Chain A
Amino acid sequence: MKNDTKIEQQLRNILSEEFIDIDPPENFTKNILAKLPEVESRTSHQSFKHICGCMWDKITRPITFSFSPLQLAVVLMVFCGSAVVFAPLNFSKVASRPVTMVKQQPVRFALYDPEQKFSSAVVIGSFNKWQSRGFEMSYDEQQKTWILEHELPEGDYEYVFLVNGESSIPDPRALFYVQDSFGNKNSLIQVGGVRHDL
């Protein structure tokens, strides 16, 4: 290169001549390919039939509502109050306001637990302010894996799995890890590209 210093030129020559990549042991590719079906079974998205089945179960599952007279009174008061507050608003203006759409990407969290040692698993991270509600994973008997499918806006997110409601563990299959300011190891998911200083 034209602008290289002398030492840079020396480095270029030495590194390209002497630092040659080494072939891995025999059967390297074969070993990886042999493990892919196992990975496939853990990572494959749920089949359409399975998803439909789950949705049908949710729709047809009986739901029981129970509330006290006091709760009913509070709900009625809130309903009446909101009617008074919002009635004078010009809804056509509100409707015509431009809406900024945040691009959501599907993400899938999976925690392989073949012996179902955990009684529960929740994904907590920077996307849900490390709260344990709302990101509960469900156990898939066939895949022997805790799974959560969700959508997140593009960005980098740190997360861990909260298992049994008390212990947090980083995702053993995450691509990237970072350490927080307390020295804890968090997994990192990059939705939509690399932007993070690891």
Chain B
Amino acid sequence: MRSSNHQSNDAVSDNEVVVSVLKGDTEAYALLITKYQSKIYSIFVRSIRSQAVAAELAQDVFLKAYENLGQYVHDKKFSTWLNAIAINTLRDYWRREGKKNFFTDELDIEQVFYDSSVEACVLGRSIMQIVHELPDLYREALLLRYRDDLPVKEVADSLGIGVSAAKMRLKRGIQIISNAVGVRNEERYKN
């Protein structure tokens, strides 16, 4: 089932809910879970094939956030903090699976799109497919910036990386897609 990206439930601010939870109103936490469950679950589903594993990891994000709610600083958005926990949990998952590179792979743009992927591009891959195939950190950076329309600073905080690293991910992500589209167009032109 698909969910809208626009979250409702904004009548009470996240910070107010957090304060209630910290005061002992455990059930208020359900408001935050309901509000962000799709966003957090989707981060895992985009990366991990097993929906069961994705659900388990997403649940753990909410549990860890609850356990460590005292560490949340109210001058940041709760969603940014939660996103950073999810990204870190995903990174840790791939580390345990021994596939760290799958997550953060430092891409060699030239190699990626002028060697192995040319064939795939010729077969007519869409921008969507290219985005799907990007390493997680690149894909999530692009989604936060161009789908959720977050400023770069917030993209950085949501990924748990510095602003310059976030800029680099975005720049490379765009470059990869541009190159891929360029290659595809060139091939089409030749034919």
Give A residues with C-beta under 8 Å from B. 5, 7-8, 10-12, 14-16, 18-25, 28-29, 31-33, 35-37, 39-40, 42-43, 106, 108, 173-177, 185, 189-194, 196-198
Contacts and interface: CB of A to CB of B under 8 A. Distances in A.
Contact of A177 (B58, B71, B88): B88
Nearest to A195: B162
Given A12-B147, A14-B128, A192-B73, 14 more contacts: A8-B174, A16-B146, A16-B147, A21-B5, A28-B37, A28-B59, A173-B67, A176-B88, A177-B95, A185-B95, A193-B73, A193-B75, A197-B160, A197-B165
B27 interface: yes
Contact of B63 (A16, A35, A190): A35
Main secondary structure of the interface of B (DSSP, over half): helix
Interface stretch (B11-19, B38-46, B106-114, B117-125): B38-46
A31 B59 CA distance: 8
B49 to A, nearest CB: 13
Contacts, number: 142
A37 B24 CA distance: 11
Nearest to B178: A7
Contacts of B42: 21-22
A32 B5 contact: no
Given A36-B26, A189-B71, A197-B161, A7 B174 contact: yes
15 contacts: A11-B177, A12-B147, A16-B147, A19-B147, A24-B38, A29-B34, A32-B29, A33-B33, A36-B63, A108-B70, A175-B68, A175-B88, A176-B84, A177-B92, A192-B73
Interface in B134-166: 142-143, 146-147, 157, 160-162, 165
B38 A19 contact: no
B38 A29 contact: no
A197 B92 contact: no
A198 B55 contact: no
A12 B37 contact: no
Given A39-B67, A190-B71, A193-B75, A22 B1 contact: yes
B78 interface: no
Contacts of B73: 192-194
A192 B81 CA distance: 13
B110 to A, nearest CB: 18
A193 B76 contact: yes
Contacts of A19: 128, 131, 143, 147
